[in-house]
Each structure stands twice: as structure tokens, then as C-alpha cells.
Chains A and B, each alone.
Chain A
Amino acid sequence: MLVQALRRLLVAIPTILAIIVACFLLMHAAPGGPFTSQRQVPEVIEKRLEQHYGLDLPIAEQIVRYVGGLAHGDLGPSMKYRDKTVLQIIEEGAPTSAILGVGAMVLALLVGGGLGIVAAFRQNRTLDYAVMAMAIIGVCLPALVVGPLLQMLLGVELHWLPSGGLFRDEFALRYLVLPVLTLSLPLIAVVSRLMRASMIEALRSNAIRTARAKGLPEWQVIIRHALPIALLPIVSYAGPALAGVMSGSFVIETVYQLPGIGKQFVLAAQQRDYTLVMGVVLIYSFLIILFNLGSDIMYRVLDPRTRST
């Protein structure tokens, strides 16, 4: 299994190279550049700036230079924040986004998983319908509605929780509650639907019939036999989804005024901060590849059918 995991990581290298090339081509396909959109600068200065950042070179050469820097762990200087490197900007924002993303996913797995199991055991009864209706509403409520509503209700009206900001004076969990909740609502919805469907299927399987026939107590049948099989679809969903939420959410970070990389990324893409965009895309694709691998490993651990003997 270790060999396989290593091989997968090796295959990831050409994938990441392809992503870099695709991103470069996309970014340079659009007219203009980081220095054309802002206030009028004399053409000479613009040329100098482009020269300084290597933007006057042919694209192929720029890509080679970028990859060369990357090999040394250098993501290049930011083109908009003149005194910062891309690495510094990401180091500032990434922890916030990562904490929010992991928090939201953990909450989604616990709450969504729990609701899904309960619904599966009450299939086609009132509780099941209630959970599934909630799940659909959860998918349909956009964060830009839920966010402001929660903020107004719990933050401004009831004063239960701070309505925005993070690490303002000290690190405190209560600053995280609302953003994590908002971020995890759609995840909870998806997880509960997946969990319900796969739990129902697992309970019908022959493995469970055998376990029951052996006379195992019901809770043991569920925890030891049904749950591992039922978790499989969730595992494959959670990997890429975790990469998605960890790489930042523009809406959440804007509504709750949090310093994450989601907002930085959107601003950078709009302002053509090529290196910063590239940096965040790289982190995202790295996380996707890593978590997909993690998903597959978990899959093997959980699924008795793919377990090597």
C-alpha cells in the first residue's frame, strides 16, 4: 500500500505541471496584465515593471522560471502587494481558512452522519422525511443568505456570539462558531443524504444478514459491520470536499470579515496578481490530490472487500 501511495504521489507531479501550464495559458489569454488596470503609469515604467517581474519573456520561459522557483519552494513575489511574497500572504491567510474548513467538515461528518443514520433507521417515516427535507433546504440556502441572517440574529439581536472578526484580541472559539456553522450547512446536507442512502443499502446487504444471524447484538452489528460499509461513499465525498472548504470561501470570509485565502484569491484573480493566483491554485490542487489519496487509503482500510489479506 505504501508503494502504491508513493506511486500516486509521483503521478501527481505531471498533473501539477499540467495545471501550472493550463493556468499560465488561461491567465495570459486575457488581455491586459497586473500593471495595466491600475492608475495610468507612463509606458516606460510599465515596461520596466513587466521586465522586473519577467512578464516580457515568452510564456514558455516564464513557466520554466516559475517551476524552477517552485522546486526551491519559492512561489515568487506578489505583483500587487509590493512588499510581500506569495508565500507570506498565503501563510497569513491559510491557517484561518484551514481551521474553518476542518471545523466545518468535522461538524458536517458528526451532525450529517448522525442525521443520516437516524433517517436510515426510520426510513419512510416522519423523522426520515423531516431530515431529508432539512437536507434539501440546507443545499438550497446560499451562504450569502444564511451568513447575514445568522449574523443579524445571533450576533446583533441576541448578542450571543460575535458577528465577525477573528483573533481580534485573543484566539477564542466563539469567533469561529458562526462562520463554521454557515460553511458546514451545505456539507451537513450532502453528508446526511449520502449517509442515509448508503446506510439503507448496507443494512440490506448479505454481510449484515450474516452478522445478525450470528446473533450479534444490534449495536455491534451497526457499529462494527454496517457503519464501515456505509461510510465508504462519505469517504470519497469528504476528500475533495475538504480540499474545497479548506482553500477558503470568499462569501464566508467577506460576510464575517475573516482574513482567509478565499478572499485574497478572488481579489488576486480580478487584479491579475498572477503569482498569487498561481500560488492558491497550487495549494488547492495539492490538497485535492492529497485528500483524494487519503480518501482512497481510508477506503481500503474500511472496505473489507478491498482489504488485502
Chain B
Amino acid sequence: MKRWIPLIIFAVLAGFLYVGLYLNPREVPSPFIGKPAPKFVLPVIGQPGTTFSPEQAKGKVWLLNIWAPWCVSCRAEHSFLMQLAQSGISIYGLNWKDKDREAEALLNQKGSPYIVTVDDLDGRVGIDFGVTGTPETFVIDQSGIIRMKHVGPIDEAVWKKKFEPLLGKLEKST
């Protein structure tokens, strides 16, 4: 028995380290799950004079995608978001801290997956949503409650695993 102890200790340690390899340190537990989305009123990009606030999206399940023109992984998820928008998913964008004012041109050039994109120039609304970096995507239900937060770009695998089951459940509850 005694000679096995080092091996057992090694196995336990290796187990912890193995699990640690696949943890994402950016995946910080969000205190928002199950709570109402923070309120905001922000100008809509490309439509001077109009504003958007989450209440306008009440009654449907929607995604709030927080992105920025300077963010490389946002560009990576752009084409997949376009597919989602075409398949009828409601995506709203929050353009976070776009100091160089590039969002409008970029969306005109590459196409916009968003119903509207709002402009959060000083990053305050992003902070209200607990954003640490772009992209982050929130799933918000019919009554304005945040159901899920995803950190990092969305691709097909992530969509199938994290989003589809939840959206299916939420759509059913109407």
C-alpha cells in the first residue's frame, strides 16, 4: 500500500492540472445570470437622432453582442453572426469604446448582423454589463432577464453547445 502513495498523489495532481488546461480564466462567473439586464439608452450607429434601450426588445429572446472595430476576435465571429441573423436570430450590437469611430464604415463595408448597434463610446454601459473584453454575448429573454453570458467569439460549435439548447427552451416558454 505504502509504495502506491506517491503514485496516488501524482495521479490526483495530474488530474487537477489536466482539468486546469481546459479552463478559461476569462470565463468569470457573471453575477447577472437570472437578473434583469441593466438599463441604458444609447445612440444608434448610422441613424443619427435615434436611440435604443433594452425595453424596445422586450417580448422576444435576443442576443446582445458586445464588440468593437478594433477587436480581432470580433471580426472572426462576424461571418457566423451574419449567418445567425439570416436564420432569424435577433442580435443587437453594442459597439464598445470605439474611440476611432470606425464602426459605421466597417458595418457598411462588411455587412451588419445587428438589428441596431448602439454606441458606447466611454464604455460605461459595457461596465454596467460587467464586460472585461470583447466579444461578449448575452442572451436576454422575453421579459428582459439575462439568461446566459458567453465570453469570446461564437462559432458553430459554441452555438450548438451553449446557445441552441437554451434558446430552444426560452422560445418554448412563450
A binds B: no
Interface residue ranges, A against B (CB under 8 Å):
none
Binding site for A on B (CB under 8 A): none
